[in-house]
Chain A
Amino acid sequence: MFKFKPKISALARISSEIRFSSQWIKASSSSNEDINVEKLFVDQEVQKLLTDLTEIDLEHKVFRPRRTSIQQRSHFALMTEERLEKTRERMREEARRFLQFVPVKEPREESVQILAQDSELKDFDTSKFVFTDITFDATDQDRTVVVREPDGTLRTANPEEHDRMNRTYYQKPNRPVNAPALFADPYLQNALDKNEHEFVLDWACWFYEPDDPSYIRLSQLVFDRINESGKFHVITSTRHFGPFTFFLALNDNIPKLLNYFGGLGRLADCANLVRLQKAVRPDWRVTIAQGDSDEKIVKDFIKQNARFRDHIGDLQAFISTGKVKSEHEAEKHFGLRERLGRVDKRRVRITSGNIRGNEGPLGELSDEYSVKVVKSEGTGGSDGAEKKEEGRGRGRWRSRDQNTDDKKKE
């Protein structure tokens, strides 16, 4: 009766181990021996290089304003230098947790196993019967799903059916049963035109399992389009940047990304990218000595790969002149990022001096309203002394000063 269950899982395991070429390596890219991509991705050296390449942009990427179901207000606080640094470090720590890479996995086997063939049962019904085991212990991965075809064949479900049944019987928010239209082309291209790459990839990651063949197809499609269009800014500092860079390095396709880093003047990242390519493809011609400086590695790469000369103009310009892509040129290519950058420059840091003025959080409204600064409740016990002192300072004299300020404005 239940004999086939262990048999199914055992066979699935074997078939996943015996695999010859990886789905992550394209047929067009040269020399693919059997590289174990999953193992290579979690290799410590590769992970370190990928984490270094993923810059942590707290303000514009990780903690940027997002549309969520939770309502939150931006929080302003006056801090000492020391506390500011501590807070930044804490945020960076949290950001590192947010930026954990999406795993790079080989797709599950699409072939199905035929469990029984009853030709006597042919045409018992016009439609397929899909049987799902909803036993409490079964997890989404090892749940038994079998299909009885109208011709009487009993077979295991393919990954698409299996995951669809999981989605049908175990619902989660924003995970409809059928794949949303966004993942297919006219709408996908629309979203990518609006630079919504991160949204698409995040949703795909939530909707599919990482080893779902359709997830791998979709993410590779998005990665390819990013690389084609050169919109690298949309994916930097997200949790998809690691797999993206890894995918490019595996397929020997890094010059465009190298050029992007070069255009921003990030030579260390360029060198890391070359190191990554070397780590991923040991058979690669470029040699890297142990003590080579970043500049030497990049220069060697340029010298030995003359075929990429057309793609890496910005990098060469940076190395020869030491100048980053000039502002007007940059605006054309990396519109969003540079615009954000300039806003940042214009923004003045809020201090106790200017918090009441036009440059404070209230902006121009500060002419009409008086700004009262209240110590926030969230401050920890570590700065209790500081608090006390401020409290002492905030006596009659302080309030009198404040009153005169307000009067002046009136």
Chain B
Amino acid sequence: MVFLLFSDFAVYEPHQVLEMRKLVIPKYFGRPSIGLALFGCTNRPFYHVCVFPDRALGRRYEGNILEQVGTFDPLPNQKNEKLVALNFGRLKYWIGERNAHISVPVLELLGLSGLFPIHPKSFIRAKDNRALIADQQLKAVAEAADAEKLNEEQVSSGATSTSHPQ
């Protein structure tokens, strides 16, 4: 009897089976990634800062979020503030001990918060915005000058037109 059983095992080749379906716990497997997950509803964006499992385990979706480590509200509130909440204790764990991959938007937030050095993209955005503002100012000045010129012309032409109505 006993011999028979052993021979059965040899037929199924258990090692090969294990290699085919590799069972892992997503939480402890590979390199997790931290990113923004869009929550909220129509016309009202609201983001959660979430930790997702290794990309080898499939794409990010709501069901496989490992942990929520913060929120980001992109719409400014009444006092013109954008509120960001970050669980720095857990972020330190995922970044420091698990070497998580961090997406660029989160890197930007972390840079602004003073935890990380400021992300280059923030600098680029700032530069672009400044250029835009300068451009608008120039345009406004030019428009004002044009309007003044037009006014003067109208006044002078008006003076002439009153003397010669037709």
Residue contact B84 to A1, C-beta cutoff 8 Å? no
A122 near B81 with CB under 8 A, answer no
Complex Cα gap A120–B82 (Å): 20
The answer to whether B83 and A130 touch across the interface, beta carbons within 8 angstroms, is yes
Chain A 150-205 residues near chain B, CB threshold 8 A: 152, 154, 165, 168-169, 178
Residues of A within 8 A of B58 (CB): none
Query: Is the Cβ of A146 less than 8 Å from the Cβ of B113?
Result: yes
**B interface residues, tally (CB under 8 Å):** 30
One digit per residue, 1 when the CB lies within 8 angstroms of any chain B CB and 0 when it does not, for chain A 109-137 equals 00000011010111111111111111111
Beta-carbon contact of B87 and A123 below 8 Å:
no
What residues of B have a CB within 8 angstroms of the CB of A136 in the complex?
87, 89
Q: Which of B76, B78, B81, B125 has the most CB of A within 10 A?
A: B81
The answer to whether A132 touches B116 (Cβ under 8 A) is no
Say if the beta carbon of B85 comes within 8 Å of chain A. Answer: yes
CB distance from A166 to the nearest CB of B (A): 11
CB-based contact A121/B84 at 8 Å: no
Residues of chain A lying within 8 A (CB to CB) of residue B90 = 135
Contact A2 B82 (CB under 8 A): no
- Cβ of B150 under 8 Å from chain A: no
Q: Report the number of A-B residue pairs with Cβ-Cβ less than 8 Å.
A: 89
Q: In B83-122, which residues have CB < 8 Å from any A CB?
A: 83-90, 92, 109, 112-116, 118, 122
A122 to B83, CA, bound (A): 19
Best-surrounded residue of B80, B113, B114 (most CB of chain A within 10 A): B114
Q: Is B70 an interface residue (CB 8 A)?
A: yes
Which residue, of A116, A129, A137, A152, has the highest number of chain B Cβ atoms within 10 A?
A129
In the complex, the answer to whether A122 meets B130 with C-beta atoms within 8 Å is: yes
B29 at the A/B interface (Cβ < 8 Å)?
A: no
A5 and chain B: residue at smallest CB distance: B88
> Which residues of the other chain, A, contact B80 by a CB distance below 8 angstroms?
126-128
B124 to chain A, nearest CB (A): 9
Q: Are A129 and B82 in contact (CB under 8 A)?
A: yes
- Please determine whether B86 and A133 come into contact, CB atoms closer than 8 angstroms: yes
- A169 and B114 contacting across the interface, CB-CB below 8 Å: no
With A132-B84, A132-B86, A135-B88 as known contacts, state yes or no: A124 contacts B114, CB within 8 Å.
no
Contact A120 B123 (CB under 8 A): yes
**Does chain B have a CB within 8 A of A278?**
no
A125 to B81, CA, bound (A): 10
Question: How far is A68 from B85 in the complex, measured between Cα atoms in Å?
Answer: 34
Q: Does B133 contact A (CB under 8 A)?
A: yes
| Cβ B89 vs Cβ A135 within 8 A | yes
The answer to whether A4 has its CB under 8 Å from any CB of chain B is yes
Known: A134-B70, A135-B88, A152-B126. A125 touches B115 (CB 8 A): no
- For the complex, is B129 an interface residue (Cβ under 8 Å from A)? yes
Question: For A239, what are the chain B residues with a Cβ–Cβ distance below 8 Å?
Answer: none
Closest chain A residue to B79 by CB distance? A128
Chain A residue nearest to B125 in the complex (CB): A124
Query: Are B88 and A133 in contact, CB atoms less than 8 angstroms apart?
Result: yes
Q: How far is the CB of A124 from chain B (nearest CB, A)?
A: 4
Q: Known: A127-B80, A134-B70. Contact between A120 and B114, CB under 8 A?
A: no
**Cβ contact within 8 Å between B114 and A128:** no
Cβ-based interface call for A356 (8 A): no
* Identity of the chain B residue whose Cβ is nearest the Cβ of A131 in the assembled complex: B113
CB atoms of A129 and B115 under 8 A apart: no
- In the complex, what distance in Å separates the CA atom of A128 from the CA atom of B82? 6
Q: What separation, in Å, do the CA atoms of A135 and B86 have in the docked complex?
A: 8
Residue in A116, A126, A129 whose CB lies within 8 Å of B84? A129
Chain A, residue nearest B124 (CB): A124
Say yes or no: A1 contacts B116, CB within 8 Å: yes
Residue of B with least CB distance to A144: B88
The closest CB in chain B to the CB of A165 belongs to: B83
Tell me, yes or no, whether A148 is within 8 Å of chain B by CB: yes
List the B side residues contacting A4 at CB < 8 Å: 114
As a 0/1 sequence over residues 123 to 144 of chain B, the CB contacts with chain A under 8 angstroms (1 = contact) are: 1011001100100000000000
Pairwise interchain contact B87-A129, C-beta atoms closer than 8 A: no
Contact assessment for A131 and B84 in the assembled complex, using a CB-CB cutoff below 8 Å = yes
Per CB-CB distance, the 5 closest pairs between chain A and chain B, nearest first, are A124-B126, A135-B89, A127-B76, A131-B113, A123-B129
Enumerate 22 A-B pairs (CB-CB under 8 Å) in ascending A order: A1-B116, A2-B92, A116-B114, A120-B123, A120-B126, A123-B133, A130-B84, A131-B109, A131-B113, A131-B114, A132-B86, A134-B70, A135-B87, A135-B88, A136-B87, A137-B89, A146-B114, A147-B81, A148-B112, A152-B126, A154-B114, A165-B83
New A-B contacts (6) at CB < 8 Å, excluding given A122-B130, A128-B82, A154-B114: A118-B118, A131-B84, A131-B112, A132-B83, A134-B86, A135-B89
